[in-house]
């Protein structure tokens, strides 16, 4: 951080130098700045999605802190004496009352509540999209498997933060959401009733759950989230960012702009832009109008009772179970209608969490990978991703089955039955179609790399024949198309003891499934050969 320049130092730079010196003599921060200050970040729009999540989280922390000054999670019962006429004199908890007051009686309070809630929706959405980007570009491969798992934990924590947060106002909608959680917990074998009993501090709804969720929401979960986030960032710096294949980019370098100043300007400006977009949405669009829902009461319920979008897949999974599915074992009850959807959800999440290790085991590739794949160049992975997205999307859609029925003039039974079928058929179709599309695109890439692209210009040859002129790519453009990893299916070989293990067999089968259909990247020889032909 020295400012040794040829020109004589100005007053400003003298001050900066003195301040830097003061800090460095006490923190030895110069080392860190030297390491990080000119670190290079590659530029691609999809690399910014994680930042969207980070910035919405900052917005959540800022607006959430404001809300804690006015929100009171107490379940003490009071009568409403505030400004909202349709609730005046209604019996409610202090939690709900203070949520109404901070919306209606604090200037800017409703704005902060809406900023907080909209930012929360954007937070989870951007994490989801960020994970999809990482998955489809293979950016989870060595050395980033651990950071993938950390990111996955962040995703789960974000959902937990969301659920505990929107339950706090103790309104009718969130109360019914908690009741659904209570019902699901009670369905767990052996310990279900006890877990529900502990969570609610007795019978549902009790007077304990809102204060407990509040502590989780503003203390425990954010603390874990911040620590996990810090780990995520540290590993990001240690591993450096991936980059897409391009001229001059190799697996051994990073090409891009330095943190100081260029990347810091973009990322810093982006924070304000994300915050601004959230603020703009919050000033014009209502979110979670708790005054409409009324205080929680176990008797009423509203049509269209749904959770926030990120819990939707769980709600939808519950809706897709068939009727009358309690199973009795030795006089004990196993509610399969609840358990099977829960197993499906947990199963999906586990597969997401461990996928990097699975793929690493199948390929056996121990190299570090810093070049992000184009999704088409890993057809089976991309197809698996598409199948997973479809599975999730079907459950997600099921959570709005009633709204689809009314808005598209369908029967809700028809919607549910269709989604039940799609839950099984959809991922298979998505897998096959996506894989075919990827292979098709790869074939086209290869064709273009070898023979150029059709220019649309028809030329008459001296002999009278007509041909379309193919425009050749330059070396830079071609490089993007031809540089990708190629894998062959695993051959089963006996191990040192001359045996073939079951694990080996399975790995070989999976490897075949992954890499049987593949398009080989064109070689230098092929390109030169094609060029000669092209030129006649």
Partner 1 sequence: MAKNPRARTAKKTGRRHPLAAVALIVIGLLSTGGAYAAFSSTATADETGVVSQSTIEEGEKLFAANCATCHGAALQGTQAGPSLHGVGAASVDFQVGTGRMPMAFDGAQAERKPVQFTDEQIEAMAAYVASISPGPAIPDEEYLTGDSDAANGAELFRINCAMCHNVAGAGGALTEGKFAPPLGGVAPEHIYEAMVTGPQNMPVFNDMNLSPADKADIISYLTYVDDNSSPGGFELGSLGPVAEGLFIWIFGLGAVIAITVWLTAKAN
Partner 2 sequence: MSQHDDEATGSAVEAHAPREVSIGTAIAPTDAVENPGMPPHRERVTDLDPRKDRQMSRRVVALFLFSILASAFAIFAYFFWPIDVSVEGFGTIRQNNMFIGIGLAFALLAIGTGIVLWGKNLMSGEEFVEQRHGTRGTDEVRAKVVKIFDDANKESGFGRRKLIRNTLFGAIAAWPLPAIFLFRDLAPAAEPHELLRHTMWEKGVRLVRDPDGTPIRAADVTIGSAFHVIPDNLGEAEHLLDAKAKAVVLLMRLNPAELNEREDRKDWSYDGIVAYSKICTHVGCPVALYEQHTHHLLCPCHQSQFDVANHAAVIFGPAARPLPQLPIEVDGEGYLVAKSDFTEPVGPSFWERER
Q: Which of residues 156-195 bind partner 1 (CB under 8 A)?
A: 172-173
Binder of residue 256, out of partner 1, partner 2, none (CB less than 5 to 8 A by kind) = partner 2
Q: Is 206 in the site for partner 2 (CB under 8 A)?
A: yes
Q: What separation in angstroms does the CA of 169 have from each of 72, 88, 288?
A: 9, 17, 10
Q: Which of 126, 288, 434, 511 binds partner 2 (CB under 8 A)?
A: 511
- What does the radius of gyration of the chain's CA atoms come to, in whole angstroms? 29
CA–CA distance, 243 with 266 (Å, rounded to integer) = 17
Give the Cα-Cα-Cα angle 437, 442, 446 (nearest 5 degrees).
Answer: 150
| Residue list 384-403, contact with partner 1 (CB under 8 A) | 399-403
Q: Is 47 in the site for partner 2 (CB under 8 A)?
A: no
Note whether 114 and 291 are within 8 A (CB): no
Q: How far is the CB of 480 from partner 1 (least distance, A)?
A: 16
CA–CA distance, 152 with 350 (Å, rounded to integer) = 10
Q: Is 410 in the site for partner 1 (CB under 8 A)?
A: yes
Q: How far is the CB of 345 from partner 2 (least distance, A)?
A: 14
Element at 416 (helix H, strand E): helix 412-451
Binder of residue 253, out of partner 1, partner 2, none (CB less than 5 to 8 A by kind) = partner 2
Kindly report whether the peptide bond that precedes residue 534 is cis, defined as omega within 30 degrees of 0: no
Binding track, positions 30-59, relative to partner 1; x by CB under 8 A = -------------xxxxxxx--x-------
Q: Is 126 in the site for partner 1 (CB under 8 A)?
A: yes
Q: Is 414 in the site for partner 2 (CB under 8 A)?
A: no
Note whether 167 and 214 are within 8 A (CB): no
Q: Which of 24, 51, 297, 447 binds partner 2 (CB under 8 A)?
A: 297
Identify which range of 124-132, 178-186, 431-439, 452-460 contacts partner 2 by CB under 8 A. Answer: 178-186
Binder of residue 510, out of partner 1, partner 2, none (CB less than 5 to 8 A by kind) = none
Find residue 371's DSSP bridge partners. 243
Note whether 167 and 174 are within 8 A (CB): yes
Q: Is 70 in the site for partner 2 (CB under 8 A)?
A: no
Binder of residue 72, out of partner 1, partner 2, none (CB less than 5 to 8 A by kind) = none
Q: Is 451 in the site for partner 2 (CB under 8 A)?
A: no
Q: Which of 9, 31, 247, 414 binds partner 2 (CB under 8 A)?
A: 247
Q: Which of 250, 406, 455, 501 binds partner 2 (CB under 8 A)?
A: 250
| Residue list 333-392, contact with partner 2 (CB under 8 A) | 333-338, 341, 362-368, 370
Q: Is 269 in the site for partner 2 (CB under 8 A)?
A: yes
| Residue list 233-292, contact with partner 1 (CB under 8 A) | 266, 269-270, 273-274, 277-278, 281, 283-289, 291-292
CA–CA distance, 188 with 261 (Å, rounded to integer) = 54
Q: How far is the CB of 399 from partner 1 (least distance, A)?
A: 7
Q: What are phi and psi of 208, to 5 degrees?
A: -100, -30
Side-chain-facing half-sphere of 397: CA atoms under 13 Å: 19
Side-chain-facing half-sphere of 119: CA atoms under 13 Å: 30
- What's the token pair of residue 391? 């599975």
Binding track, positions 80-119, relative to partner 2; x by CB under 8 A = ---xxx-----------------xxx-xx-xx--x-----
Binder of residue 368, out of partner 2, partner 1, none (CB less than 5 to 8 A by kind) = partner 2
CA–CA distance, 242 with 230 (Å, rounded to integer) = 19
Binder of residue 534, out of partner 2, partner 1, none (CB less than 5 to 8 A by kind) = none
Cα distance from N-terminal residue to C-terminal residue, the chain: 60
- What's the token pair of residue 301? 């319920």
CB within 8 Å of 203: residues ≥ 6 apart: 197
Binding track, positions 133-152, relative to partner 2; x by CB under 8 A = ----------x---------
Q: How far is the CB of 14 from partner 1 (least distance, A)?
A: 34
The residue among 258, 260, 255 whose CA lies nearest residue 243 is 255
- What's the token pair of residue 208? 């304990």
- Secondary structure (DSSP) of 66-119: HHHTT------EEE--SS-GGGTT-EEEHHHHHHHHHHHTSTTHHHHHHHHHHH
Q: Is 321 in the site for partner 2 (CB under 8 A)?
A: yes
Identify which range of 153-161, 386-394, 429-437, 477-485 contacts partner 2 by CB under 8 A. Answer: 477-485
Q: How far is the CB of 115 from partner 1 (least distance, A)?
A: 11
Element at 454 (helix H, strand E): strand 453-460
Q: Which is nearer to partner 1, 184 or 393 (CB)?
A: 393
């Amino acid at each position: 951080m020295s400012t040794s320049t040829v020109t004589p130092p100005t007053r400003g730079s003298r001050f900066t130098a003195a301040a830097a010196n003061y800090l460095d003599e006490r923190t030895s921060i110069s080392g860190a700045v030297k390491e990080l200050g000119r670190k290079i970040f590659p530029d691609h729009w999809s690399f910014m999605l994680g930042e969207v999540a980070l910035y919405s989280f900052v917005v959540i922390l800022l607006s959430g802190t404001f809300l804690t000054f006015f929100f009171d999670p107490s379940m003490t019962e009071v009568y409403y004496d505030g400004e909202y006429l349709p609730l005046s004199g209604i019996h409610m908890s202090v939690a709900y009352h203070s949520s109404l007051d901070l919306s209606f009686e604090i200037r800017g309070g409703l704005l902060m509540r809406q900023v907080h809630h909209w930012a929360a929706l954007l937070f989870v959405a951007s994490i989801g999209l960020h994970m999809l980007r990482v998955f489809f570009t293979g950016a989870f491969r060595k050395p980033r498997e651990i950071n993938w798992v950390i990111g996955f934990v962040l995703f789960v924590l974000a959902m937990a933060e969301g659920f505990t947060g929107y339950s706090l106002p103790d309104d009718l909608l969130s109360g019914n959401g908690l009741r659904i959680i209570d019902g699901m917990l009670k369905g767990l074998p052996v310990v279900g009733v006890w877990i529900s009993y502990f969570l609610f501090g007795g019978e549902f709804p009790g007077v304990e759950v809102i204060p407990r969720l509040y502590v989780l929401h503003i203390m425990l979960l954010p603390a874990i989230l911040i620590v996990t986030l810090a780990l995520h960032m540290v590993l990001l710096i240690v591993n450096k960012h991936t980059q897409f294949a391009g001229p001059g980019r190799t697996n051994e370098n990073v090409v891009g702009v330095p943190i100081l100043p260029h990347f810091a300007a973009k990322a810093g400006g982006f924070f304000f832009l994300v915050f601004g977009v959230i603020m703009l949405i919050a000033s014009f669009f209502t979110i979670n109008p708790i005054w409409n829902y009324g205080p929680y009461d176990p008797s009423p319920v509203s049509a269209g009772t749904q959770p926030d979008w990120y819990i939707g897949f769980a709600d939808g999974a519950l809706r897709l179970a068939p009727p009358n599915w309690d199973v009795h074992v030795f006089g004990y009850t196993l509610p399969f209608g609840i358990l099977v959807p829960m197993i499906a959800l947990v199963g999906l999440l586990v597969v997401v969490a461990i996928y990097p290790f699975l793929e690493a085991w199948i390929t056996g590739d121990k190299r570090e990978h810093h070049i992000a794949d184009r999704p088409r160049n890993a057809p089976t992975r991309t197809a698996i991703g598409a199948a997973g997205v479809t599975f999730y999307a079907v459950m997600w859609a099921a959570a709005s089955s009633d709204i689809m029925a009314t808005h598209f003039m369908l029967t809700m039974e028809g919607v549910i039955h269709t989604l039940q079928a799609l839950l099984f058929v959809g991922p298979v179709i998505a897998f096959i179609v996506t894989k075919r599309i990827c292979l098709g695109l790869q074939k086209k890439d290869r064709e273009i790399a070898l023979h150029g692209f059709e220019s649309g210009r028809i030329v008459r040859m001296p002999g009278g024949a007509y041909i379309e002129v193919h425009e050749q790519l330059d070396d830079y453009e071609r490089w993007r198309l031809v540089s990708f990893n190629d894998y062959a299916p695993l051959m089963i070989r006996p191990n040192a003891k001359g045996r073939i293990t079951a694990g080996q067999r399975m790995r070989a089968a999976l490897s075949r499934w992954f890499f049987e259909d593949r398009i080989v990247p064109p070689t230098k020889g092929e390109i030169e050969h094609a060029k000669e032909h092209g030129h006649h």
